[in-house]
Structures are given as structure tokens and as C-alpha cells.
């Protein structure tokens, strides 16, 4: 198990720190895998210089699977972030046991329990990506001991069906103390989006744009190597 592997990888990255998401399905765009082998896409992400891999285990809305997450952790040496609507400490334990490096904890979902969940995840060697979408949620997140704070440019309450933009990162990221790694999540489709995001954040999490691309390796390489 990698201990705090994702936050360390982001801090050490000499190029643009991109967490590439292996996203098999989107409520907005439907099937993103399109008959491809997900592990082939994983290799493309590795070759293109991703700083970490993200995967959504939620089965209901994103057609994810925890079994696949376990295989993914064994298949790559990159740190793997588990995204889901985590509401129990048992899921934190499972994530650590599977070899995950980091776990998403959503402020809107956990509310006042976020503090306890962050501490519990850190005790299990997991980086915590505490997700926010509003100023009110951010005010809670910065009081936690999380290693990372993620700004979801899209509204998770609308299951990504809204057209979120990196303007939210531009608004919220400057309010996050520098002791946290700042991650801009979702809504990043172009180099211009990325440049705006990375002007304010330390890393970007990109899924849909890569999965929709005919050549995800080429697109990710372009993102990783783009100049400010």
C-alpha cells in the first residue's frame, strides 16, 4: 500500500500534475468505454505521464465496481484515488486494504462527519481529497486535517448534468490555505481550461475529456506538457 502516495506525487511533479480518471460511464454522456479495454487506457495514461489514476466505484450512477478498483490498484504503480459517495468507515478500511492511495470525501454528503472521516482515512494511510462546490462547504473543508481539497467545478447534486466551468476553481482556490494541495476537478476539456485551473490549483483531475478522446494518450500528454 502506498502511504500518502498521491499528494507526494503531485508535490514532486515537474510537469502539470494531472490525475487521469478511468471513467467508464457518465450520467451525461453515457458509455465512455465504447468497447475498449480499460487496462489498455490505463497503460496509455501511464505512458502519457499521469501523476495518479482516479476511478469511480459508485455502481448506481457511474456503473463502477469495487472489484474493478481492486484490480486497478494491483495493475498500476501509480497512486489510485477512489471516488464514491462514501458514508461509512468500513468503505475507508476497504479502500486501504485494496491498495488504494487516496479516497474522495464529499463535504456535502458527510457534513459534520467529514472531520471524523478525514482523521480515520489518514490513520489508514490514505490521502484524503475533501470535495467542495460552494464557499460554505469550503469553510468546513479548510478546518479538516485533509491532505488535499478538491473543487468540483460541476454540481455533484446534479450528477454532472450541469455545465460546470473552471471559473469555480478561479473563485474558490485562492481561499484555500497553501498547506492543502488544491485539485481542480471536472469541467476541464481544453488546454485553456487546464491553464486557468492550474493557475489557481496544484493539480487537475480530468476524466470525461480523456475518455471521449479518440487518442487519450496523445491528449493527456498534451495536457501534461502544456506550458503555463
> Is the pLDDT assigned to residue 2 strictly greater than 50?
no
> Which pLDDT score, from 0 to 100, does residue 160 have?
55
> Which pLDDT score, from 0 to 100, does residue 154 have?
81
Alpha carbons 93 and 81: distance in angstroms, whole number:
14
> Is the pLDDT assigned to residue 1 strictly greater than 60?
no
Q: CA of 84: how far to CAs of 124, 173, 198, 199, in Å?
A: 17, 22, 24, 27
List residues with catalytic annotation. 21, 23, 83, 131, 152, 185-186
Q: Tell me: the pLDDT tens digits for 40-87?
A: 999 999 999 999 999 999 999 899 999 999 999 999 999 999 999 999
> Which pLDDT score, from 0 to 100, does residue 142 have?
98
Report the predicted TM-score, pTM, of the whole model to 2 decimal places: 0.95
Average pLDDT for residues 203-223, to the nearest whole number? 97
Alpha carbons 174 and 120: distance in angstroms, whole number:
27
- With residue 105 as reference, give the H or E element that holds it: strand 102-106
**Residues 50 and 20 sit within 8 Å (Cβ to Cβ):** yes
A 10 A CB-CB count for 39 gives 14
> Which pLDDT score, from 0 to 100, does residue 155 have?
75
Least Cα distance to 154 among 190, 207, 199, 200 occurs for 207
> Which pLDDT score, from 0 to 100, does residue 3 have?
58
DSSP lists the bridge partners of residue 129 as: 104, 148
> Is the pLDDT assigned to residue 175 strictly greater than 50?
yes
> Which pLDDT score, from 0 to 100, does residue 65 have?
96
193 in helix, strand or coil? helix
- Across 24-28, 154-158, 167-171, 200-204, least confident range: 154-158
Residues 6+ apart with CB under 8 A from 147: 4, 7, 122, 127, 128, 180, 181
**Residues 131 and 140 sit within 8 Å (Cβ to Cβ):** no
Q: Which residue has the cell 485562492?
A: 174
> Is the pLDDT assigned to residue 156 strictly greater than 80?
no
Q: Which of 28-32, 162-166, 216-220 has the highest mean pLDDT?
A: 216-220
> Is the pLDDT assigned to residue 159 strictly greater than 70?
no
> Which pLDDT score, from 0 to 100, does residue 124 have?
96
Q: Tell me: the pLDDT tens digits for 8-43?
A: 999 999 999 999 999 999 888 899 999 999 999 999
Alpha carbons 183 and 76: distance in angstroms, whole number:
22
pLDDT grade for 158, boundaries at 50, 70 and 90: low
Average pLDDT for residues 145-168, to the nearest whole number? 79
Domains of the chain (ranges; CATH) run: 5-225 (3.20.20.70)
Amino acid at each position: 500500500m502506498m502511504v500518502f502516495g498521491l499528494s507526494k506525487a503531485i508535490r514532486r511533479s515537474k510537469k502539470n500534475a494531472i490525475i487521469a480518471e478511468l471513467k467508464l460511464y457518465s450520467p451525461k454522456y453515457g458509455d465512455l468505454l465504447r468497447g475498449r479495454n480499460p487496462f489498455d487506457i490505463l497503460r496509455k495514461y501511464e505512458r502519457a505521464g499521469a501523476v495518479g489514476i482516479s476511478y469511480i466505484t459508485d455502481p448506481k450512477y457511474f456503473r463502477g465496481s469495487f472489484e474493478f478498483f481492486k484490480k486497478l490498484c494491483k495493475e498500476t504503480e501509480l497512486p489510485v484515488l477512489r471516488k464514491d459517495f462514501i458514508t461509512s468507515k468500513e468503505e475507508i478500511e476497504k479502500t486501504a486494504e485494496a491498495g488504494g492511495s487516496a479516497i474522495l470525501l464529499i463535504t456535502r454528503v458527510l457534513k459534520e462527519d467529514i472531520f471524523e472521516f478525514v482523521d480515520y482515512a489518514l490513520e489508514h494511510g490514505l490521502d484524503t481529497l475533501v470535495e467542495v462546490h460552494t464557499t460554505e462547504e469550503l469553510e468546513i473543508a479548510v478546518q479538516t486535517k485533509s491532505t488535499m481539497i478538491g473543487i468540483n467545478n460541476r454540481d455533484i447534486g446534479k450528477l454532472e448534468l450541469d455545465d460546470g466551468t473552471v471559473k469555480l476553481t478561479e473563485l474558490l482556490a485562492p481561499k484555500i490555505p497553501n498547506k492543502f494541495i488544491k485539485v481542480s476537478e471536472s469541467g476541464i476539456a481544453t488546454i485553456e481550461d487546464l491553464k486557468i485551473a492550474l493557475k489557481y490549483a496544484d493539480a487537475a483531475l480530468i476524466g470525461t475529456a480523456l475518455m471521449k478522446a479518440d487518442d487519450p494518450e496523445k491528449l493527456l500528454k498534451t495536457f501534461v506538457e502544456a506550458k503555463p
